[in-house]
Amino acid sequence: MQTQERGTLFVFSGPSGVGKGTLNAKLFEEFGEQMAFSVSATTRAPREGEIDGKHYFFISKQEFESRIANNDFLEYAQFAGNCYGTPKSYVMSLLDQGKNVLLEIEVQGAMQVMERMPDCVSIFVLPPSFEELERRLRGRGTETEEKVLKRLETARGELEYAGRYKYRIVNGGDLEAAYQELRSIYLKETNRA
């Protein structure tokens, strides 16, 4: 008999407000037993309802730097003034156990993963248009104008990287249609002969 097959690493990016979290949650709902989400480390403060060890490992800047020095991260990057990193040994051990691992990370980190793990499956979620993204971000109504503008500027920069991903999914408002695209990518990439 064949030994345990190594899992597939999925790298998922897309600007804030594009619905990537919702799409990933749906994927997990359907294929959760074959999958695992990586829990990143970050220096940003927890938001209301976020749990240490579940949503992120919330650590100090000093701790983050010592982890960089120990080569503990598969990738790391700065985003909106905070540091984020993917714990390498955790991801590798999940892949070894045959789990398909999902990283939901920003573009700089995704480029590092694509370089280090060229077999990874990279997916970028796009809004139907920049105007629609702006409408969605404003629709949240939870942020100041300054923050919204900052997020939009970041999103514009991120969208420039979309072409470097293996797959692009447009989330144009029909969540089910976008999910079906993601689902077929997942099935295709995890049932390789």
Residues that bind ligand 5GP (CB under 6 A): 40, 44, 75, 77, 79, 84-86, 104-106, 108-109
Q: Would you say 46 or 128 has its CB closer to ligand 5GP?
A: 46
* Helix-helix angle 175-190:20-31, to 10 degrees: 50
Shortest gap between Cβ of 166 and ligand 5GP (angstroms)? 17
**Hey, what are 120's tokens?**
């990874």
- When the beta carbons of 68 and 187 are compared against ligand 5GP, the nearer one is 68
Q: CA dist 20 to 17, 23, 97, Å?
A: 8, 5, 25
Q: In the bound complex, what is the minimum distance in angstroms from residue 96's beta carbon to ligand 5GP?
A: 20
For ligand 5GP, the closer of residues 10 and 84 by Cβ is 84
d(CA 28, CA 135): 27
Our CB check for ligand 5GP shows the closer of 106 and 189 to be 106
| In the complex, minimum distance from the CB of residue 129 to ligand 5GP, in angstroms, rounded to a whole number | 20
Name the phi and psi angles at 128, rounded to 5: -65, -30
Question: Rounded CA gap, 106 and 13, in Å?
Answer: 6
CB nearest ligand 5GP: which residue? 109
Instruction: Report how far residue 41's alpha carbon sits from residue 86's, in angstroms, rounded to the nearest whole number.
Output: 6
Given the complex with ligand 5GP, which of 39 and 185 has the nearer CB atom? 39
Find the shortest distance in angstroms from Cβ 191 to ligand 5GP: 27
Other Cβ atoms within 10 Å of 152 Cβ, number: 18
Q: Which residues pair with 56 in a beta bridge?
A: 52
Q: In whole angstroms, how close is the CB of 174 to ligand 5GP at the nearest point?
A: 23
Cross-strand pairs, 19: none
